[in-house]
Amino acid sequence: MFANASADGSGLWVYNRSVSTTVVMYRNGAAFGVAETATSAALDTSDIGLLRSAGFAAVELASAFLGGSLSAGEITALYDAELAYMTAVGAA
């Protein structure tokens, strides 16, 4: 759906679906792709798996979040807050 904007996958990735037919991908607070999707008929009830598809990935995950749609400004604020925290604890 989106071209990879990072060779190593690092950074804060946000997959934001604010309306039923559009998805915007952000990396480190900046939008880099928009995709049209099929309209949802109902909420998805499937399980959510982080870092796995057919198996588990041997990678690190510092944080994850799920929830309602965020505005572009809220995504930037989230990135800034997470970067400040990760820097303060020596992880960035």
pLDDT one-digit tens code per residue, 53-85: 666 667 777 788 888 889 999 999 999 999 999
Q: Is 43 exposed, middle or buried (0-12, 13-18, 19+ CB in 10 A)?
A: exposed
**pTM summary value:** 0.72
Structure tokens at 17: 């679906």
Please tell me the predicted confidence (pLDDT) of residue 15.
85
Please tell me the predicted confidence (pLDDT) of residue 68.
83
CA atoms within 13 A on the CB side of 39: 1
pLDDT one-digit tens code per residue, 15-66: 888 888 888 888 899 888 888 776 767 777 777 777 666 666 677 777 888 8
Structure tokens at 65: 């979040």
Tokens 């604890």 sit on residue? 89
Strand ordering across the sheet containing 30-36: 13-19, 22-27, 30-36
Q: How does DSSP assign 16-48, residue by residue?
A: EEEETTEEEEEETTEEEEEEE-PPPSS---S--
